[in-house]
Amino acid sequence: MAEAHHLAESRAPQAAAWEFCKEMSNWGPLIPGYVKHEVLDDVRSLWSFQIDLGPFSKLVLMDVTITERVELERVKFEIKGRTESFYGDGQFGARENGSGIQLFFDISVTPTGPMGRIVDALARPVLPKVTQGFASELVRSIEVSAGLAEPAAPARPGRLSRLCRLACAPFRALLRLVFRPFARARERGPE
């Protein structure tokens, strides 16, 4: 199981953070690999991500179900893959501190199926980096929406995606080693 836990500080008041975060369209595009999402009802939504793990790149659809929503505090959710075999859960929220708020992020993902162990090995080092990148972008966006920061200059495309690719570099080599016999067999064709 891949897990990530991250804390971030913001100068924004808790009410401003909640106002920003209660609308998925405000923060969804900040998640690395985000393609789109569709709200199905008050608690269910369908999300699409372009996932890059080492040499693999794939469009992944997942169902997200909100299991708990405590106004001004936290949102808990469960995820389940539609196009890939995985499940997980997580939460994010905010607590007041002396000069603003502390945002917290927790997520766990368990890949299943025949490639589950390999995907898990790839995801373990990447998920914390992706969570940290998302948290940084979210804090900045909340502070901009609260008038506490200026909008950032347009980011270079794929900045977080490149971070994920760099973090996965050692695993790309491992996967090439593992899958090289299969690739050679496919190149030779049926015997």
- Secondary structure of 73-117 in HEC code, one letter for each residue: CEEEEEEEECCCCEEEEEEEEEEEECCEEEEEEEEEEEECCCCHH
SS3 163: helix
Contact assessment for residue 9 and residue 100, using Cβ atoms and an 8 Å cutoff: yes
Beta bridge partners, 53, equal 56
**pLDDT band, very low/low/confident/very high, at 51 (cuts 50, 70, 90):** confident
Residue-wise pLDDT tens digits, 93-143 = 999 988 889 999 999 999 998 888 988 888 899 889 989 989 999 999 999
Residue 54, pLDDT score: 64
Contact assessment for residue 55 and residue 174, using Cβ atoms and an 8 Å cutoff: no
pLDDT at 176 over 70: no
Distances in Å between the Cα of 65 and the Cα atoms of 45, 48, 90, 91 are: 7, 14, 10, 11
Q: Which residue has the tokens 């390999």?
A: 118
Query: What is the percent of the chain with per-residue pLDDT over 90, rounded to a whole number?
Result: 40
**pLDDT band, very low/low/confident/very high, at 89 (cuts 50, 70, 90):** very high
Q: Which residues of 58-97 are buried (b: 16+ CB within 10 A; e: fewer)?
A: eebebebeeeeeeebebbbbebebeebebbbbbbbbbeee
List the one residue out of 37, 11, 32 whose CA is nearest residue 130: 32
Residue 58, pLDDT score: 85
* Predicted TM-score (pTM) of this structure: 0.73
List the one residue out of 106, 105, 138 whose CA is nearest residue 1: 106
Structure tokens at 24: 């998925």
SS3 12: coil
Residue 101, pLDDT score: 93
